[in-house]
């Protein structure tokens, strides 16, 4: 799936290289986004901010040949604000302008821009095409260099209209299609399936920033996206055997003391496309980007459970916390999953009922208005559109808990599999992937080295302690720099580590295979290959990541 | 090290096979040992019980051709009791009778027996020689078939004397040797080093029982064994920055509410001898038996810390719990280690100050009178002869915490290593090993199959969910039966899993390589080979276990 975009991106490497140098400084602090929300007439929220804040990095402005050294600037800027007397375009209309023939349009907040003639001048080269027909905002979050008065001026000079604040999808809705009311997605999300919608972005974009922009965060939907009215939303908490459930409205939850948890979430099928090469498996053909990291704000589940009447004694008697989403299949069954109760009630578990993701209300694709965030545990248990929590002696009996998301021996096939014999995946094993370069890329050698960047993560609150890379089949290993890592210690280290390494290259080498493997704080490490971890569902695909590249000297 | 014993054991396979069938029923319940302790005149404890209890298994008595079906018998038997008018022998004297030429002697409680003429009749074959010169008790714990009135009668018929209750070592003590007061060990412990004493037993004995008999439990000593008088023993608890420490006597600790924790303890260097084959490493040449499982009774550390004045707020402000042992090096430095404070204070951490091991006071080699038991965490932090606990903002600054027991990249050597760059090993990664057959054994094929037995374990409270075996290099994987597994769920599953598998054998196959790998509840699995996990200290040696055997059809 991922590969389809690559051909258009692999040229113009020199400009990319320059751009990469310019964007080195981005890191944790790129999330200072505006937090004024206005509600649109569809019961949803749009970000309508106008304050742009940016702090502490060196900018070399190649157009104006001017250095904003160690800039400490805060600018109140009108870029992207609604402008009188300009035509209004819907998200759907903008999304059709992705090529030279139709004109290349992008959006920034409420502004619509025609950048057709700028594409060839863009310092980041054709990367701008990833945003064609969509918002540039996620990329400006990834590449802090854009947060520059000159860039805002330049963008505004391409202004052609205003973006309609009516949900684009409602205009084109097909009432007979259960997926007809799904939200409009960013063009940089590459679908693994469209109905239900499942998509990831390029790993090379992912590894640019510790926090993944919402628009580029992988989407894993099992069913159509519910359209929940936050005014009437209710969350029911049931303790098995008790007569009355406790019900919370969204306002009830928002009034409670909140916590912000930054966590990495990963699909159990991330990197499945590599396992598939050994022998076909059933499942979405994920690349290496079914993973992302976001800041979630919400209320600790343990506090909500206490209010619902869960005692310390109950914690010992019950074994599981079941979650039910509002997404429903054709037979009327809701999506469901469960986690062991210790995780929900332990103060070190950090489970929250989240209503914000990266500073904005959780987008519809990610669970609006409430998603349970279960750090360190597989995405499938971080149930979206959460409407019911059941404290139980049993696991969820949902298909996804019982007959999916489980691991098996490589010799187990669909004739012999017995799903009862394996436990449901909860905490995930250690994994890593190279994000830059991508498999098949041609890479320019500089000073006898190439730069390799990637991510590494481990479930269960474990921290990455080392990432090793080799370009000679394991004879020599290079230890990567851990560039971005949360200081939290295990077993409460929930986020990935972004790393980079300079791999030495011999001047006669034309092709290179690079392997990456990570080691976590339990000193667990990745298995070498997929042959011996292959499983019929293609989950837990965490073998060494291996890419082949061409070198340009 | 291990291999030295094997040649004498590899014959007599038919009798072994029979014996194996007889001993199938042993399991958890074989620990019903007598708990009357008498103190000897050296301030130590000896087990002097006379009640023998055994429950619920089928015995086929091959000598008397009689079946004790589903026996539920409790026998008060005088076997091993002191007998008037017999000569007294010291442990040291007994230990010199290990061959036909000297006579083969064994002990059982206070009894000394000459079994020279019985060796050839022993249904378990030459296995009896493992006990030559030592106690047969650990083997009677492993093989429940011995707990049979006829066997006790037979044993008593070989009685030649009484065992002296004076510590054998004190008789042969060399005052100039710091190791001169080390305790006498069982002959079945095979030393990896003698001073300090480090030893393991055969993996084939280990996998016979879920609980490892104390006498066969691997010993990892860094220094001479302290000789602590329990009457004057004191444990000091210091909270950094506070003026007064709190002191506990052994009696103080024993008066507190106690808990029993069954846990597996493993040395970070277990299976090092396999890693060494890739490239030499520094460290004891451990086989696959530097691991064992025991029931420890003691007082929860968190309760002791509360009594010492540790508040919930302190738990957040301090980061580490340092332990100091009474074992001292030539410069006067004590053995030291530390664990993260969350593990010590968390009710799910299950850390105890143990004074009993498998129902008896902790043997001197294992930390008498107090060893801190830190389940799920590497043996090195389960500090023996514990005399001091310090609540601190820093890790222990001991050699063993700072400059040992850490993992590194395969390309890090003694010239480039920087011990500051790696975290101290705490929770251990998933591991497994085949205990039966041993590498190099000749195995009889029965009904087209061979039986393979082993252990698997993972640190951090993770449970083993699957063990896979292959005899064709990974083309086909056989899922092992998990024969003995504690029902505790992760993250409080502290013990190993004993497993077995019947591997099909083609009738023309003469040699076979078998691989074993385990998967834990986080779905972490073992790395395939040692090449890419090699490290200069030879720790974390958890690649697939591979053995080569010969087949007898």
| Residue of B97, B220, B364, B537 with catalytic role | B220
pLDDT at residue B247 is higher than 60: yes
A369 lies in the same domain as A398 = yes
Q: Which of A394-408, B86-100, B431-445 has the lowest mean pLDDT?
A: B86-100
Contact B423 A521 (CB under 8 A): yes
CATH number, domain containing residue A7: 3.10.120.10
> E-strand spans in B151-252?
159-163, 190-193, 198-200, 219-220, 234-239, 246-249
Q: Measured between beta carbons, which residues in chain A are less than 8 angstroms from residue B412?
A: 479
> E-strand spans in A77-227?
88-89, 98-99, 103-108, 111-114, 159-163, 190-193, 198-200, 219-220
- A119, two tokens: 């594409």
A67 has which bridge partners? A60
- Residue A289's alpha-carbon distances to A30, A62, B15, B189, in angstroms, are 20, 31, 58, 51
Coil/strand/helix, residue A198: strand
Which of B248, B290, B285 minimizes the C-alpha distance to B267? B290
A303 lies in the same domain as A400 = yes
Q: Measured between beta carbons, which residues in chain B are less than 8 angstroms from residue A531?
A: 474
| Residue of B97, B146, B185, B493 with catalytic role | B146
Give the Cβ contact number of residue A453 at 10 Å. 21
Q: How far, in whole angstroms, is CA B336 from its chain's centroid?
A: 21
- State which residues form the domain around B533: 431-552
Contact A264, A457 (CB under 8 A): yes
A356 lies in the same domain as A477 = no
Q: Measured between beta carbons, which residues in chain A are less than 8 angstroms from residue B422?
A: 465-466
Kindly identify which residue of chain A lies nearest to residue B406, measuring between CA atoms: A523
DSSP label at residue B480: P
Q: Does A204 map to a domain? A: no
Q: How far, in whole angstroms, is CA A16 from its chain's centroid?
A: 23
A481 lies in the same domain as A504 = yes
A356 lies in the same domain as A385 = yes
Contact A484, A516 (CB under 8 A): no
Query: What average pLDDT does this structure show over B133-162?
Result: 89
CATH number, domain containing residue A299: 3.90.420.10
* Cα B173 to Cα B170: distance, rounded to the nearest angstrom: 5
- A116, two tokens: 């057709």
- A510, two tokens: 């034309």
Contact B407 A523 (CB under 8 A): yes
Indicate the residue of B340, B411, B422 with minimum beta-carbon distance to A465: B422
Last residue of a domain, one of A421, A455, A475: A421
* Cα A28 to Cα A30: distance, rounded to the nearest angstrom: 6
The nearest CA of chain B is from the CA of A536 a distance in Å of: 14
The string of pLDDT tens digits covering residues B159-205 is 999 998 765 444 445 667 889 899 999 999 999 999 999 999 999 99
Q: Does A201 map to a domain? A: no
Q: Does A213 map to a domain? A: no
Q: How far, in whole angstroms, is CA A436 from its chain's centroid?
A: 17
Contact B346 A348 (CB under 8 A): yes
Contact A477 B411 (CB under 8 A): yes
Confidence of residue B376 (pLDDT cuts 50, 70, 90): very high
Indicate the residue of A346, A412, A430 with minimum beta-carbon distance to B524: A430
B69 lies in the same domain as B48 = yes
A158 lies in the same domain as A284 = no
pLDDT at residue B43 is higher than 70: no
Indicate the residue of A426, A489, A522 with minimum beta-carbon distance to B428: A522
CB within 8 Å of A40: residues ≥ 6 apart: A46, A165, A166, A167
Q: Does B182 map to a domain? A: no
Peptide bond preceding B491: is omega within 30 degrees of 0, i.e. cis?
A: yes
Q: Does A380 map to a domain? A: yes
* Cα B169 to Cα B181: distance, rounded to the nearest angstrom: 6
* Cα A349 to Cα B264: distance, rounded to the nearest angstrom: 25
Q: Measured between beta carbons, which residues in chain B are less than 8 angstroms from residue A479?
A: 409, 411-412
What is the rounded average pLDDT for all residues in chain B?
Answer: 86
Kindly identify which residue of chain B lies nearest to residue A406, measuring between CA atoms: B523
| Residue of A97, A185, A186, A220 with catalytic role | A220
The string of pLDDT tens digits covering residues A118-154 is 999 998 888 888 899 999 988 888 887 888 888 988 9
Q: Is B122 known to be catalytic?
A: yes
Contact B474 A523 (CB under 8 A): no
* Cα B235 to Cα B250: distance, rounded to the nearest angstrom: 8
Residue of higher predicted confidence among B167 and B487:
B487
The string of pLDDT tens digits covering residues B497-519 is 999 999 999 999 999 999 999 99
Q: Is B222 known to be catalytic?
A: no
A108 has which bridge partners? A111
Question: According to the model, what pLDDT value does residue A125 have?
Answer: 83
ipTM: 0.83
Question: According to the model, what pLDDT value does residue B415 have?
Answer: 96
Sheet with strand B545-552: strands edge to edge: B442-444, B545-552, B511-520, B464-470, B478-479
Question: According to the model, what pLDDT value does residue B143 have?
Answer: 83
B158 lies in the same domain as B111 = yes
Last residue of a domain, one of A421, A450, A467: A421
A404 lies in the same domain as A443 = no
* Cα B478 to Cα B473: distance, rounded to the nearest angstrom: 12
Q: Which residues of B82-107 are buried (b: 16+ CB within 10 A; e: fewer)?
A: eeeeeeebbbebbbebbeeeeebbbb
Contact A368, A385 (CB under 8 A): yes
Indicate the residue of B348, B409, B425 with minimum beta-carbon distance to A523: B425
Q: Does A6 map to a domain? A: yes
Last residue of a domain, one of B399, B421, B443: B421
| Residue of A122, A159, A242, A399 with catalytic role | A122
The nearest CA of chain A is from the CA of B493 a distance in Å of: 13
% chain B with pLDDT above 70: 84
Confidence of residue B77 (pLDDT cuts 50, 70, 90): low
Q: Which H helix or E strand runs over A342?
A: helix A341-345
Contact B533 A526 (CB under 8 A): no
Confidence of residue B99 (pLDDT cuts 50, 70, 90): very high
The string of pLDDT tens digits covering residues B289-324 is 999 999 999 999 999 999 999 999 999 999 999 999
Residue spans of chain A under pLDDT 50 = 1-76, 168-172
CATH number, domain containing residue B450: 2.60.40.650
Number of domains chain B contains: 3
CB within 8 Å of B198: residues ≥ 6 apart: B191, B192, B218, B219, B220, B221, B284
Residue owning tokens 């799903």: A419
The nearest CA of chain A is from the CA of B460 a distance in Å of: 8
Contact A527 B522 (CB under 8 A): no
Q: Does A505 map to a domain? A: yes
Q: Does A179 map to a domain? A: no
Which of A3, A26, A30, A9 minimizes the C-alpha distance to A213? A30
B267 lies in the same domain as B415 = yes
Interface residue of B393, B532, B537 to substitute, partner A, most A CBs within 10 Å: B532
Backbone angles phi, psi at A260, to 5 degrees: -110, 125
A269 lies in the same domain as A290 = yes
B106 has which bridge partners? B113
Contact B519 A407 (CB under 8 A): yes
Question: According to the model, what pLDDT value does residue B299 have?
Answer: 98
B385 lies in the same domain as B488 = no
Coil/strand/helix, residue A391: strand
């Amino acid at each position: 799936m991922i590969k389809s975009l690559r051909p258009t991106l692999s040229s113009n490497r020199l400009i990319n290289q320059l751009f990469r140098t310019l964007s080195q400084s981005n890191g944790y602090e790129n999330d200072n986004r505006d937090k004024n929300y206005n509600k649109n007439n569809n019961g949803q929220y749009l970000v309508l901010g106008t304050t742009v804040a940016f702090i502490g990095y060196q900018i070399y402005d190649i157009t104006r040949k001017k250095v904003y050294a160690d800039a400490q600037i805060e600018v109140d800027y009108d870029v992207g604000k609604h402008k009188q007397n300009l035509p209004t375009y819907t998200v759907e209309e903008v999304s059709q302008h992705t090529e030279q023939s139709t004109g290349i349009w992008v959006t920034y907040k409420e502004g619509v821009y025609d950048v057709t003639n700028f594409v060839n001048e863009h310092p980041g080269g054709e990367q701008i095409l990833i945003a064609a027909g969509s918002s540039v905002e996620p990329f400006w979050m990834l590449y802090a260099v854009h947060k520059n008065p000159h860039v805002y001026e330049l963008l505004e000079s391409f202004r052609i209209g205003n973006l309609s604040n009516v949900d684009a999808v409602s205009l084109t809705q097909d009432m007979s299609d259960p997926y007809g009311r799904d939200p409009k997605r960013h063009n940089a999300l590459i679908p693994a399936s469209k109905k239900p919608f499942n998509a990831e972005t390029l790993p090379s974009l992912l590894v640019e920033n510790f926090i993944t922009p919402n628009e580029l965060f992988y989407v894993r939907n099992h069913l159509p996206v519910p359209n929940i009215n936050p005014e009437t939303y209710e969350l029911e908490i049931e303790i098995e055997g008790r007569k009355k459930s406790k019900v919370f409205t969204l306002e009830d939850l928002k009034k409670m003391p909140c916590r912000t948890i930054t966590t990495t979430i990963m699909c159990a099928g991330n990197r499945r496309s590599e396992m598939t090469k050994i022998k076909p498996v059933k499942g979405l053909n994920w690349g290496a980007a079914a993973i992302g990291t976001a800041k979630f704000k919400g209320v600790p589940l343990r506090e909500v459970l206490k209010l619902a009447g869960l005692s310390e004694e109950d914690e010992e008697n019950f074994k599981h916390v079941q979650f039910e989403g509002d997404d429903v299949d054709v037979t009327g069954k809701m999506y469901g999953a469960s986690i062991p109760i210790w995780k929900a009630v332990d103060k070190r578990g950090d489970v929250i009922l989240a209503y914000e993701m990266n500073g904005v209300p959780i987008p519809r694709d990610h669970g609006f208005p409430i998603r349970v965030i279960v750090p360190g545990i597989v995405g499938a248990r971080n149930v979206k559109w959460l409407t019911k929590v059941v404290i139980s002696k049993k696991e969820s009996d949902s298909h996804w808990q019982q007959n999916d998301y489980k691991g098996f021996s490589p010799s187990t096939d669909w004739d012999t599999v017995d799903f009862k014999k394996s436990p449901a995946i909860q905490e995930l094993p250690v994994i890593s992937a190279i994000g830059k370069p991508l498999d098949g890329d041609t890479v320019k050698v500089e000073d006898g080295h190439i730069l390799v960047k990637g991510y590494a993560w481990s479930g269960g609150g474990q921290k990455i302690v080392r990432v090793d890379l080799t370009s000679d089949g394991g004879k020599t290993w290079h230890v990567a720099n851990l560039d971005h890592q949360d200081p939290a210690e295990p077993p409460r280290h929930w986020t990935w580590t972004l790393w980079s390494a300079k791999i030495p290259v011999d001047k006669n080498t034309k092709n290179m295979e690079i392997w990456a493997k990570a080691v976590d704080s339990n000193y667990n490490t990745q298995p070498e290959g997929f042959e011996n971890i292959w499983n019929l569902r293609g989950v837990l695909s965490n073998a060494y990541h291996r890419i082949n590249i061409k070198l340009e000297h």
